[in-house]
Structure 1
């Protein structure tokens, strides 16, 4: 196949499908798009641990991302996951662009940096928001990218359009809608990812370089660990929040989030967490 900037020819598609447990046929159609989305978020956690482990860089080249997430069983933050997912969709034959969103749910602001990246897939004359890396509050399936679009089910979402032209993705919780992020569909490219990656790894305002942030979206429950605070979310129920002790924090990557860590990395996290 002719290569593109999304490097579909370089992805080990069979290994990826095995990693996420996807057993169906693959084709550039809506059934595949939905199936891959559900399988990916169920299997692969949001994981910022490299930023805490003294890594001087979080590589975004496809080979490094595949080695980390597919072969070593780690998660990744949104930029890594989008690099991997874009290569998979490119290999299968989907048409898409990337865009960046300004996170609202944890910042309380509509004007923060546009650090979150997701994909806009064009299929049969419609556009679909395809976001596998927002974490515990993110969608479990693609959502049609249109004003007042809704994703129904146990985990409902909608999209609204603001007067300034931004789309806003909302998680429809029992206590009321939670605005996740605002975005336009202006195209972003892999070179833009490198700038965002550098901010996330090094900037003092980054939310990801000073405490553990792990997130996972599963069909029956969602988990978010921020520092020592674990939030558990179930359909149509108030969130449960509790504080973890150091031992619980260090076992959480594998036991709750399905992340495989090397023994040396566990020891480093123990030291960072003021363990003995």
Structure 2
């Protein structure tokens, strides 16, 4: 279903630096999940620059594995699902609604997988950018604390009105930082469903990824985010550091900090579009 016959699994695992076991076990899932989050880059540049993102597997693996580019959740999930399928895992794709503390439900435009192992299911969310570094068991009250200082809790609760579903909370024990990150149901999604959501995110004028570019890179000791021209660095136990950069500085910043390399034409277009964002519109 996920076009794994087109996946170069050796190239994918080499890109991740995974040299361990390939059997479909929880240990393998945890290792591949962590390596994917820390290695495969995340950006929304194609939405911002071209209003088009292709999800066919040959294009996705060329972009994410060979071109030194990043992608967002639909691209990550497409690549990851093909890898898990080829490794022999059983899973269901689902769609989440990114809330980030919002009260009203947002569109279901976040791609994730539920992996079935030994009678349990695991939420494996590798396409958020600042994703959890490990799968989380799909169980009410399940908790995860990772070595980048982030804690998570899954709750089975009313998510839209009285309708039940799942909510992922970040920093659940900190009253000031507790955040309902996203909500979702177990309704199965298929590649065609992701194609519909991807079309909205990549091309609709109301999509936040069309309006401005957003880039993230998570490491165990820091999280860097570039939201248009605002570069934020977060480190565990410290206050975030924010800096406003100029459009012409962005291509080098992407390469040096985010390990994302854009071609000459896209770099020139990116600088031009960011300059338009930086310049206030006339009366």
TM-score norm. by structure 1 comes to 0.91
- Deviations, residues 84-128 of structure 1 (Å, cap 9, x unaligned): 0000000000000110111111x7244111110100000111100
In 2, Cα distance between equivalents of 1:23 and 1:232: 31
DSSP 3-state at the match of 1:53 = helix
In 1, Cα distance between equivalents of 2:233 and 2:117: 34
What are the equivalent positions in structure 2 for 1:169-248 lying under 5 Å apart? 169-172=168-171, 175-248=176-249
Whether 2:144 is the aligned partner of 1:143: answer: no
In 1, Cα distance between equivalents of 2:170 and 2:239: 13
What are the equivalent positions in structure 2 for 1:1-276 lying under 5 Å apart? 5-54=1-50, 57-105=52-100, 108-136=102-130, 138-153=131-146, 154-163=149-158, 164-172=163-171, 175-274=176-275
Structure 1 segments (4+ residues) deviating >4 Å: none
TM-score norm. by structure 2 comes to 0.89
In 2, Cα distance between equivalents of 1:17 and 1:273: 35
- Number of residue-to-residue matches in the alignment: 268
The 3 A distance-change label for structure 1 pair 225 and 177 is same
In 1, Cα distance between equivalents of 2:37 and 2:271: 27
DSSP 3-state at the match of 1:141 = coil
- Deviations, residues 214-260 of structure 1 (Å, cap 9, x unaligned): 11221111122111122222224343333222243332221121112
Aligned-residue CA RMSD (Å): 1.7
The 3 A distance-change label for structure 1 pair 8 and 54 is closer
The 3 A distance-change label for structure 1 pair 123 and 110 is farther
DSSP 3-state at the match of 2:221 = coil
In 2, Cα distance between equivalents of 1:90 and 1:81: 14
Kindly indicate whether the alpha-carbon contact (under 8 Å) linking 2:7 and 2:82 is maintained by their aligned counterparts in 1: yes
- Deviations, residues 138-161 of structure 1 (Å, cap 9, x unaligned): 211111111010002322111112
Kindly indicate whether the alpha-carbon contact (under 8 Å) linking 1:216 and 1:224 is maintained by their aligned counterparts in 2: yes
Q: Which runs of 5+ in 2 are unaligned?
A: 277-283
Kindly indicate whether the alpha-carbon contact (under 8 Å) linking 2:170 and 2:180 is maintained by their aligned counterparts in 1: yes
In 2, Cα distance between equivalents of 1:49 and 1:261: 9
In 2, Cα distance between equivalents of 1:52 and 1:205: 12
Q: Which runs of 5+ in 1 are unaligned?
A: none
Kindly indicate whether the alpha-carbon contact (under 8 Å) linking 1:140 and 1:217 is maintained by their aligned counterparts in 2: no
After TM superposition, the structure 1 stretch with the greater mean CA deviation from structure 2, 32-41 or 88-97, is: 32-41
CA drift of 1:53 comes to 2.3
Kindly indicate whether the alpha-carbon contact (under 8 Å) linking 2:3 and 2:57 is maintained by their aligned counterparts in 1: yes
In 1, Cα distance between equivalents of 2:152 and 2:27: 19
- Deviations, residues 42-95 of structure 1 (Å, cap 9, x unaligned): 11122111122235x311111111111111121111101111000000000000
In 2, Cα distance between equivalents of 1:93 and 1:110: 38
In 2, Cα distance between equivalents of 1:238 and 1:96: 38
Kindly indicate whether the alpha-carbon contact (under 8 Å) linking 1:43 and 1:258 is maintained by their aligned counterparts in 2: no
